[in-house]
Chain A
Amino acid sequence: MPYDCTSIYVPQHEDEVAEYDWEQFPPSKVSGGKNGFTIIDEYSGIEGKLIARNAFIHGQVQGLVFAENVTVEKTGRVNGVIFCRNLTVFGKVDANIICDSIFVRTGGVMTSMLKYKNLRIEQGGAVGGKFEKRVVIDARAKPAKSDGGLLRGGAR
């Protein structure tokens, strides 16, 4: 393995999330131009951390999903925490989510504490929970760190 997945730091605070450089995200960095992907098939489940560049989830994930692009397919279920750049939901998600873009497709069901930059919900998608639009923070003016981590349940 070209990087140590156990040493990947998961951003815990608003300023870290705002400044997170997805180009430096190890799975994306080491794969270079290659568009690698991970598939959790319909009959598989994961409990713990899923770290990948592109994750296609047909099965179940309970825990942290940390990836550049995440697609929760029709049969996919995610419970826990998702930190990603782009999230597409066809299946069911009950998670604490921080992302740049989220797209809930027809049939997708999402219940979450959601922080997003771009939101799109297709007709037939269902959402619920507490939503907050993320603001672009000027990297030069760092805000004070809050006491609680944004990604509850996430691991360093």
Chain B
Amino acid sequence: MENKIADNESEGTIFIGAGVQFKGDMTVPGCASVDGKFEGTLKAKSLIVGQTGNVSGQISVETAEVRGAVGDHLIVQSKLVVRSTGSISGSVSYSKIMVEEGGELAGTIEKISDPKVVALKTGAE
């Protein structure tokens, strides 16, 4: 898929399909793709939230691409992309950002000056 922002072929991935609800903690070495609903703590290399996806809780990832909804606390150590159908609310920390027209950001937005410091604070790799 050309829009995927992480090559996750060689690492463990998880896909939460539309209609699936997951509550709990997850550590994903590769890509977490969410078209359903996730609530809890998520650490992953990359996060892809589909149009029907809804992610909330403590989220810490290297890269994120959002077409659905993300809430609560999101830390993106590298690049955050919000597509035209995406919306993010709550607190967001990022290193690089791109928001397409139609994308929504609401809440407290912060640019990470040194991603390593945030990684240490959150315990993420």
Contacts and interface: CB of A to CB of B under 8 A. Distances in A.
Contacts of A118: 101-102
Contact of B96 (A120, A123, A130): A123
B119 interface: no
Interface of B: 96-111
Contacts, number: 42
Contacts of B107: 130-131
Given A132-B106, A133-B104, A119 B111 contact: no
A130 B99 contact: no
Interface string A112-126: 000000111111111
A118 B101 CA distance: 7
A122 B108 CA distance: 19
Nearest to A122: B98
Chain A: number of interface residues, binned into ranges = 10 to 19
A130 B98 CA distance: 17
- The 5 A-B pairs of least Cβ separation, nearest first, read A121-B99, A123-B98, A120-B101, A131-B105, A126-B111
B79 to A, nearest CB: 8
A133 B107 CA distance: 9
A14 B102 CA distance: 22
B97 A119 contact: no
Given A125-B97, A126-B97, A127-B97, A119 B104 contact: yes
A123 B78 CA distance: 12
Given A127-B105, A133-B106, 4 more contacts: A120-B103, A123-B96, A128-B109, A130-B107
Contacts of A128: 109-111
Contacts of B102: 118
A38 to B, nearest CB: 26
A87 to B, nearest CB: 14
A119 B111 CA distance: 17
Contacts of A132: 106
A127 B104 contact: no
13 contacts: A118-B101, A119-B105, A120-B99, A120-B100, A121-B98, A121-B99, A122-B98, A123-B98, A124-B96, A125-B97, A126-B111, A131-B107, A132-B106
A122 B98 CA distance: 5
Contacts of A127: 97, 105, 109, 111
A119 B103 contact: yes
A104 to B, nearest CB: 8
A129 interface: yes
